[in-house]
Amino acid sequence: MRELDASGTALAGGSEVLQLIRNDLPWEGSVVEGPFLIKRGHYYYLFYSGECYANHRYCVGVARSEQVTGPYEKAAAPILSSGRGFAGPGHCVVVTDLGGDATGLEDQIDMKPS
């Protein structure tokens, strides 16, 4: 994470990179990527992808914090993983409708025969 300037289109001068999470869980493999951050109630939820996008171990995880800058507490296991004919869910986003209901979306590879 890094602070933006007042225009919101460039990095703030003198701002520093803040690493919110690290790949420290076995299922995350050698990388965590594709972050998406939302605030719901008193918590910030950081959705992210772990492992390699090119295999069936690619998954989506979530971490939460009461402060946007952390510290973030991760769920021990991924919240989305391969199964039921699909592989490699990743890069989750959450959209909220006008009624306030949230829906998560992610990309996956369709492994079912065509």
The answer to whether 64 touches 53, Cβ cutoff 8 Å, is no
The reply to whether the predicted model has a pTM over 0.85 is: no
Nearest 5°: phi and psi at 27? -70, -15
Residues in the chain, pLDDT under 70: 84, 87, 105-114
Q: What is the pLDDT of residue 113?
A: 66
The predicted structure's pLDDT at residue 80: 84
State how beta strands 59-65 and 73-74 pair. antiparallel
Give the C-alpha separation, 100 to 17, whole Å: 32
In this prediction, residue 108 carries a pLDDT of 60
Q: What is the pLDDT of residue 62?
A: 96
Res 106: pLDDT: 63
pLDDT at 72: 98
